[in-house]
C-alpha cells in the first residue's frame, strides 16, 4: 500500500548547499508545498540571507527565528546542571541543539497545517535519530522525509550538478574559502568532522580552529573570572547580571582567548560506528568546572554521588536523541531538585588552555571550617567517635576473616 501524498512539509533549512537542494528536490519529488525553518542558535553566521535563498526557490512560508536564549535557558543550562559528559569527555554541543530544532519543526507544522517535516541529516549519523525521535515524541503521526536515505545525490559533485540543472545559486560560502570539514556550530560549541580528520592519527592543522587560540599562543598572564550561580544556573559574570545566552557567549570569548575548550575524540555513534570529531567548547568547559565547584560546597555527599551515578545514563539519553523521553524528564526532575541549594560564587583562573578553580563560596555552604580544621576545633568534632564508626564498618570483614576467608 503506497503512502498518502504529502501536501506540505516543513524543512529545517540552513540556506546551504544540501538543504537548498533538498527544498527543490522535495518540490519535484513530492509535488508538495515547502515551508522553510531557519534557527539562529548562535552559529555565528547571519541567518537572514537564508530568506532570499528560500524565496529564490519559490518558498512562500519562511520562518527565521532567533532561538539563542531559549536554547541556552531551556536546553544547555538544564544539561549542565547534571555535569553532563558523554563517554567521559564530550560536552554534547551538537546533541543538545537537536531537540529544540525538532520542537520548532513540529510547532511550525502545527501552525501551518503541514503533514510532514524534513531534515538534511545523513543516514550515517546521529542527527537523523535525534530529529526524528523528537518529532515522533511530540507528534506521533507526523511524516518524516529524510532525503539522504532516499535520493542518489550522494556526493558534493552530484549536488552541484543538481544545482546547475535547476538554476540554484551555489555561492553558499558567502565569498569565504570553504572549509574542507563538515562543521556544526551553535552557542555551545563548534564541531569538525570528515576530510583528513577521518584518519584518527592525523593532527588537525591550527588554522582549522575558529573560536580559540592555541594554548601555546594564549596570553602569558592568567585571567580571572567570577561566576554567580542561582539554583545551578549562571546569572552573573564578574558581578554583572547576564541572560543565559549572553553569559555563554561571554564565556566562549574569555575561554577562547585563553586557549580553552579544544577536544579531539573518537566517539561511539548510536547508529553503531565509531567517529572522530574535533570540538571547540570554551564556554562549556568553564561551565562544567565551575558548576562542579559550586556543587562541592552546597550539595550533600550522597546527593552529589547519586548525581554522578545518574549522569552517564542522562548523557547517553541526550546523545542518542531521547531528550523528549519520559526517562530523561524523570532524571531531569531529580537533577533540578538537587539544584535548589546550588547558589553562590566560583572564582576561576584561565591560563593557556587550563581552567583552575581558585575559590568558591555560598551562603548555603556545607563546608564547616570549625569541624574541618586541623587546628583546635574547641570540641566541635569528637575524634573518639571515629573508633566506633570504623569498627562497625569493618564488622562484616572481621567476621569473614574470622571464618578463615583470608585475603592474603
Residue 63 grid cell:
520562518
Contact (CB, 8 A) for 8 and 106:
no
Three cell numbers written together for 359: 575559590
CATH-assigned architecture of domain 185-299+342-361: Alpha-Beta Complex (3.90)
- State the Cα–Cα distance between residues 311 and 394, nearest whole angstrom: 30
Catalytic residue from among 74, 115, 182, 347: 182
Write down the domain spans for the chain. 8-81+91-166, 185-299+342-361
**Catalytic, out of 14, 18, 40, 328:** 18
**Cα 299 from Cα 210, distance rounded (Å):** 37
Distance between CA 93 and CA 97 in Å, rounded?
7
Helices (H), 339-384: 369-372
CB 348 within 8 A of CB 360: no
Is-contact 358 319, C-beta < 8 A? no
Q: Which CATH superfamily is domain 8-81+91-166 in?
A: HUPs (3.40.50.620)
Residue 99: all three cell numbers together? 531537540
Taking alpha carbons only, the member of 119, 116, 107, 108 closest to residue 143 is: 116
pTM, rounded to two decimals: 0.94
DSSP string computed for 46-62? -STHHHHHHHHTT-SEE
DSSP state of 395: H
What is the distance between the alpha carbons of residues 51 and 48, in angstroms, rounded to a whole number?
6
* Tens-place pLDDT, residues 107-148: 999 999 999 999 999 999 999 999 999 999 999 999 999 999
Q: What is the pLDDT along the chain (408 residues), one digit of tens a residue?
A: 467 899 999 999 998 889 999 999 999 999 999 999 999 999 988 898 899 999 999 999 999 999 999 999 999 999 999 999 999 999 999 999 999 999 999 999 999 999 999 999 999 999 999 999 999 999 999 999 999 999 999 888 899 999 999 988 866 555 455 678 889 999 999 999 999 999 999 999 999 999 999 999 999 999 999 999 999 999 999 999 999 999 999 999 999 999 999 999 999 999 999 999 999 999 999 999 999 999 999 999 999 999 999 999 999 999 999 999 999 999 999 999 999 999 999 999 999 999 999 999 999 999 998 889 899 888 899 999 999 999 999 999 999 999 999 888
The question of whether 98 is a catalytic residue gets the answer yes
From the list 40, 127, 184, 233, the catalytic residue is 127
**238 among known catalytic residues:** no
Specify whether 18 is catalytic: yes
Catalytic residue, from 14, 40, 81, 98: name it: 98
Partnered with residue 182 across adjacent β-strands are 193
Amino acid at each position: 500500500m503506497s503512502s498518502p501524498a504529502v501536501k506540505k512539509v516543513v524543512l529545517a533549512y540552513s540556506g546551504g548547499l544540501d538543504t537548498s537542494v533538498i527544498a527543490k528536490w522535495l518540490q519535484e519529488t513530492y509535488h508538495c508545498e515547502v515551508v522553510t525553518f531557519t534557527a539562529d542558535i548562535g552559529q555565528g553566521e547571519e541567518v537572514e540571507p537564508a530568506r532570499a535563498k528560500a524565496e529564490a526557490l519559490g518558498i512562500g512560508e519562511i520562518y527565521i527565528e532567533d532561538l539563542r536564549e531559549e536554547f541556552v535557558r531551556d536546553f544547555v543550562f538544564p544539561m549542565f546542571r547534571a555535569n553532563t559528559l558523554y563517554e567521559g569527555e564530550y560536552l554534547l554541543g551538537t546533541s543538545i541543539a537537536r531537540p529544540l530544532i525538532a520542537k520548532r519543526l513540529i510547532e511550525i507544522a502545527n501552525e501551518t497545517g503541514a503533514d510532514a517535516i524534513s531534515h538534511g541529516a545523513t543516514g550515517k549519523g546521529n542527527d537523523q535519530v535525534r530529529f526524528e525521535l523528537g518529532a515522533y515524541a511530540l507528534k506521533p503521526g507526523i511524516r518524516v522525509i529524510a532525503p539522504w536515505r532516499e535520493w542518489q545525490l550522494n556526493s558534493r559533485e552530484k549536488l552541484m550538478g543538481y544545482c546547475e540543472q535547476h538554476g540554484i545559486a551555489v555561492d553558499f560560502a558567502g565569498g569565504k574559502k570553504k572549509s574542507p570539514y563538515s562543521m556544526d556550530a551553535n552557542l555551545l560549541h563548534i564541531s569538525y568532522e570528515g576530510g583528513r580528520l577521518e584518519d584518527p592519527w592525523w593532527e588537525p592543522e591550527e588554522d582549522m580552529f575558529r573560536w580559540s587560540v592555541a594554548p601555546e599562543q594564549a596570553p602569558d598572564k592568567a585571567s580571572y573570572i567570577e561566576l554567580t550561580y542561582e539554583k545551578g544556573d549562571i546569572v552573573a559574570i564578574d558581578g554583572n547580571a547576564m541572560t543565559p545566552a549572553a553569559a555563554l557567549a561571554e564565556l566562549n570569548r574569555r575561554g577562547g582567548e585563553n586557549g580553552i575548550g579544544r577536544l579531539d575524540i573518537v566517539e561511539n555513534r548510536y547508529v553503531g560506528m565509531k567517529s572522530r570529531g574535533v570540538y571547540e567548547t570554551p564556554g562549556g568547559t568553564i561551565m562544567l568546572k565551575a558548576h562542579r565547584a559550586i556543587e562541592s560546597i552546597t550539595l550533600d555527599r550522597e546527593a552529589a554521588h547519586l548525581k554522578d551515578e545518574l549522569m552517564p545514563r542522562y548523557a547517553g539519553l541526550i546523545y542518542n536523541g531521547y531528550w523528549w523521553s519520559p526517562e530523561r524528564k524523570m532524571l531531569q526532575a531529580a537533577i533540578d531538585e538537587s539544584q535548589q541549594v546550588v547558589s553562590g560564587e566560583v572564582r576561576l583562573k584561565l591560563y593557556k588552555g587550563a581552567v583552575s578553580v581558585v575559590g568558591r563560596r555560598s551562603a548555603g555552604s556545607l563546608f564547616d571550617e570549625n569541624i574541618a580544621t586541623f587546628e583546635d576545633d574547641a570540641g566541635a568534632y569528637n575524634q573518639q567517635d571515629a573508633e566506633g564508626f570504623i569498627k562497625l564498618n569493618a564488622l562484616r570483614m572481621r567476621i569473614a576473616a574470622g571464618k578463615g576467608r583470608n585475603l592474603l
